[in-house]
Amino acid sequence: TTTAASHHPARNATRDSAFIKACRREPVPHTPVWFMRQAGRSLPEYLKVREGIAMLDSCMMPELVTEITLQPVRRHKVDAAIYFSDIVVPLKAIGIDLDIKPGVGPVVAEPIRTRADLARLRDLTPEDVPYVTEAIGMLTAELGATPLIGFAGAPFTLASYLVEGGPSRSHERTKAMMYGDPQLWADLVDRLAEITGAFLKVQIEAGASAVQLFDSWVGALAPADYRRSVLPASAKVFDAVAPYDVPRIHFGVGTGELLGLMGEAGADVVGVDWRVPLDEAARRVGPGKALQGNLDPAVLFAPTPAVEAKTREVLDAAAGLEGHVFNLGHGVMPSMDPDALTRLVGYVHEQTAR
Ligand code: CP3
C-alpha cells in the first residue's frame, strides 16, 4: 500500500532493488550486501578527503558527506549506501557540547545525570540539521536505483554516551540510573526517542529508502531489563517512522538473548552479530521479519579461501530465511584490506545469483 507519507521520487526509484526486496521478504535476483561502517574507515580515498577535517565538521559538509557515502558503492559495488554521519550528530545539533575523539569515540563535556540535566535535551527540528536534508538530496540524485540507508543511535546507546560522558565497557553510571532511578531513566530515554524519531523522519523526508537503528551496546542488558527499560523507548522510535512504510532495521552487538525483543520493538529486519547462526536467530526472532548479517568481521583478516568458506556457512544458515541481507556481524575495521571487502561482495552475489 502506498500512503502519502511513503511516497518520494528518490525512494520510488529504489523499490525494485535487491536490498529493498530482501527487507520486504520478496524474491531477489541475488542476496544483497552492504557493510556496517563501509563509509570511511580503511579506504585511502576516504582518508584523503578527510585530511585536516574533524569528524563532526565533516558530517556538516553536504558535498563531502555525498562523496564519502558514494565511495564504497563505487568501489565495492555494494547493494546499498549508508549515510555518512555519526550517532551523536543529532545531539550536537540540539546543542549538547560533545566531540568525537580519534581512536576514542564520542566524548560529552557535561554528562546528563540529573533531572535538571534533561532540560538540555530539547526537541530536534529539520532546521537544526539543514546539511542532512541537503546531503541526502544530492546523494539520492547520484544513487539512482541504489537505496540510501539513513540511521540513528537508539535511546539506550545514546543514553550510555550521555550519562557516562564517553565510551564505556561496563555502562556503570548508565545502569546505576536505570536500576536506581527508573523514572528519571524512563524520562531520559523517552526524550531521546523523540529526538531520534524526529532525526530519522528528516532523513526519510529527504529521500532515504530504509533506516537502521543502532543499539550497539544494548547487549549489556538482560532480557527482563531490556523489556522494562529500553523496549518502550525504541518502540516509540520505530512507531514514529511507521507511517512512511520504509524498512526499519534494528541492530546491536552481543544481543543473542534479545533478538526476539528487538524484533518486537518494531523492526522489519533484525541485525544479528556473528555469535548466533542465522537459522537459530530466525527461530528466536519468529516469522514475519527479515534478518541481516552475520559474518564475523575478523574473518576478513584470513586468506580468501577461509573467507569464502565462512561466507558459505553464513549463506547456508540463511537458506531458509524469509529475507536475508548479507552484512558483517559488526562494522568494518580500519585495518581491513578494502580489496578483501570488494571480493566478498562479488562472492556473495555470485553464490546467490538466481
Ligand atoms: O558506514 C559508515 O561508516 C557510516 C557512518 C557511521 C559512522 N559512525 C562514522 C564514524 C556510522 C553508521 C556510525 C555509527 C556509530 N557511531 C555507532 C554505531 C555503529 C557501531 O559500530 O556499532 C557508534 C557506537 C558510534 C560512536 C562512535 N563514533 C565510535 C565508537 C567511533 C569510533 C572511535 C574510533 O575512532 O575508534 C566513532 C567515530 C567515527 N564514526 C568514525 C567514523 C568514520 C571515525 C572517526 C574518524 O575517522 O575521525
pLDDT of 314 higher than 80: yes
Q: Which atom of ligand 1 is nearest to the CA of 41?
A: 43
50 is catalytic: yes
Return contacts of 299-307, CB within 8 angstroms, 24+ apart.
Answer: 300/328, 300/333, 300/336, 300/337, 300/340, 300/341, 300/344, 301/335, 301/336, 304/340, 304/343, 307/340, 307/343, 307/344, 307/347
CA of 85 relative to ligand 1 center, distance in Å? 8
Grid coordinates representing 64?
Answer: 563531502
Active site residue 41: yes
Which residue minimizes the CA distance to atom 37 of ligand 1? 105
How crowded is the C-beta side of 302, counted as CA atoms within 13 Å? Answer: 13
Ligand 1 atom 24: the closest Cα is on which residue? 216
- Of the candidates 149, 146, 158, 147, the one whose C-alpha atom is nearest the C-alpha of residue 121 is 158
How far is it, in rounded angstroms, from Cα 246 to Cα 263? 15
One DSSP character per residue, 14-27 reads TTTSHHHHHHTT--
The single residue of 24, 50, 122, 228 carrying the catalytic annotation is 50
**Is 177 in contact with 163 (CB distance < 8 Å)?**
yes
Write the CA distances from 113 to 67, 153, 279, integer angstroms.
38, 19, 41
pTM: 0.97
Is-catalytic flag, 337? no
211 SS3 class? strand
Q: How far apart are CA 264 and CA 184, in angstroms?
A: 24
The mean pLDDT value for 72-95 works out to: 98
ipTM: 0.91
CA atoms of 88 and 180, how far apart (whole Å): 25
For ligand 1, residues with CB inside 6 Å are: 37-40, 55, 82, 84-87, 100, 102-106, 151, 214, 216, 331
Say what the pLDDT of residue 1 is: 47
Lookup: cell for 172: 556503570
C-alpha cell at 163: 550519562
49 and 1 Cβ atoms separated by less than 8 Å: no
Residue bearing the CA closest to ligand 1, atom 8: 86
The Å distance, Cα 302 to ligand 1 centre, comes to: 24
pLDDT exceeds 90 at position 93: yes
Residue ID of nearest Cα to ligand 1 atom 20? 216
In tens, the pLDDT along 230-276 reads 999 999 999 999 999 999 999 999 999 999 999 999 999 999 999 99
The DSSP code sequence of 28-80 is -SS--B--TT-SSTT-HHHHHHHTT--HHHHHT-HHHHHHHHHHHHHHH--S-
12 three-state secondary structure: helix
Per the annotation, the verdict on 115 as an active-site residue is no
Q: Which of 46, 83, 161, 244 is catalytic?
A: 161
Binding residues for substrate: 37-41, 86, 161, 216, 330
Pick the CATH number of 9-352 from 3.50.50.60, 3.20.20.210, 3.40.50.10470, 3.40.718.10: 3.20.20.210
Counting from 1 in the atom list of ligand 1, the atom nearest the Cα of 151 is: 12
Q: Is the pLDDT of residue 166 over 50?
A: yes
Residue in 86, 88, 203 to alter for ligand 1 test, most ligand atoms within 8 A of Cβ: 86
CA-based R_g, the chain, Å = 19
pLDDT category of residue 302 using cuts at 50, 70 and 90: very high
Residue 3: predicted pLDDT: 60
Q: Which residues 6+ apart lie within 8 Å of 304 measured at CB?
A: 340, 343
- The residue nearest atom 32 of ligand 1, judged by CA position, is 105
Question: Which whole-number Å values give the CA distances from 173 to 17, 22, 114, 252, in the listed order?
Answer: 43, 39, 12, 20
| Residues 173-205 pLDDT 10s | 999 999 999 999 999 999 999 999 999 999 999
How far is the centre of ligand 1, averaged over its atoms, from the C-alpha of 36 (Å)?
Answer: 10
